[in-house]
Amino acid sequence: MTEPERAAGESSTGDDARRPSAASRKTAFGDPDASVLEQMGGVRGLVFSSIPVLTFVPVNAFWGLTAAIWGALGVAVAMLAWSLARRDNPQPAISGFIGVAICVFIAWRTGDAKGYFLYGIITQAVYGSAFALSAIAGWPLVGVIWGFLDGKGMAWRRIPPARRWYTVATGFWAALFAIRAVLQYILYLNDEVNWLGAARIGMGWPLALVAFLGTVWAVRRAMAHEKDAESAVAEQSPGDAARGD
């Protein structure tokens, strides 16, 4: 092997070593091989978010608030212990346990089963407001989050079509959180504990799935505009360099 060939091979190897692998760059938006369920947290995320509610509501109906509180806490602890014993990623179980603990504390302090759902209603309202305000301010949160994950930062803000599509994606989540908050708050005001439980589950994953699919659709269009802008810059650069010479 000649010296130039050896140098080229070493340069190529060094670039490949520095360049992140395709697997490491896969994300929820960029990995077409992953199922939607996997991208949204998998079956475990669905189970961990549903079982405490499915325990609290019927136990409250038959045995009262105190039993429902202990029942929801019990299943949250059991799921956390099961996750740790299997050495799975404990994050869904830990997050679920903290959420259940806050919910049952509010129910205990208010002395009313519907208090279990108040924390969720408040968080949905806060999230919805944050997403909506970010879109109005020209800093749509989906674009901010995706720019961080994709490693490109806020470059998309200089590309108006990309910014519009990130705003569309952010609007999906703002609408999702607003629908959840408003409808569940109406049920809360009317003391509909059973329907609150049904709404928590029914408006959880199904609506999130719709918002997620809409986000993938919008983000991929934003990324296409970003790629077009990068190509346009790359095409102009040689000509600019020639004129400078």
Q: What is the spatial distance between Cα 105 and Cα 171, in angstroms, rounded to a whole number? A: 32
Is the pLDDT confidence value at 86 over 90?
A: no
Q: If we measure between CA atoms, which residue out of 240, 194, 210, 227 comes closest to residue 60?
A: 194
Q: For tokens 């202990």, what's the residue?
A: 70
Is the pLDDT confidence value at 37 over 60?
A: no
Inter-helix orientation angle 91-110/42-63, to 10°:
20
- One-letter amino acid at 37 equals L
User: What is the DSSP-derived secondary structure letter of residue 216?
Assistant: H
Q: If we measure between CA atoms, which residue out of 176, 168, 153 comes closest to residue 217?
A: 168
Is the pLDDT confidence value at 3 over 90?
A: no
Is the pLDDT confidence value at 186 over 60?
A: yes
Tell me how far the alpha carbon of residue 229 is from its chain's centroid: 27
Is the pLDDT confidence value at 15 over 50?
A: no
Task: Assess contact for 19 and 27: CB atoms under 8 A.
Answer: no
Q: If we measure between CA atoms, which residue out of 221, 132, 216 comes closest to residue 171?
A: 132
pLDDT at 46: 66
The structure's pTM equals 0.76
Q: What is the spatial distance between Cα 155 and Cα 26, in angstroms, rounded to a whole number? A: 20
- One-letter amino acid at 75 equals V
Inter-helix orientation angle 205-244/160-189, to 10°:
160
pLDDT at 8: 47
Reading the block at residue 76, the tokens are 């949250």
Is the pLDDT confidence value at 236 over 90?
A: no
Is the pLDDT confidence value at 39 over 60?
A: no
Count of residues in the chain: 245
List C-alpha distances in Å: 201 to 125, 162, 194, 197: 17, 33, 11, 7
Q: Residue 148's pLDDT band (boundaries 50, 70, 90)?
A: confident
Is the pLDDT confidence value at 70 over 50?
A: yes
Highest mean pLDDT among 85-89, 91-95, 139-143, 204-208: 139-143
Highest mean pLDDT among 27-41, 76-90, 139-153: 139-153
pLDDT at 238: 57
pLDDT at 26: 46
pLDDT at 33: 46
Q: If we measure between CA atoms, which residue out of 76, 70, 229 comes closest to residue 162?
A: 229
pLDDT at 90: 74
Is the pLDDT confidence value at 38 over 60?
A: no
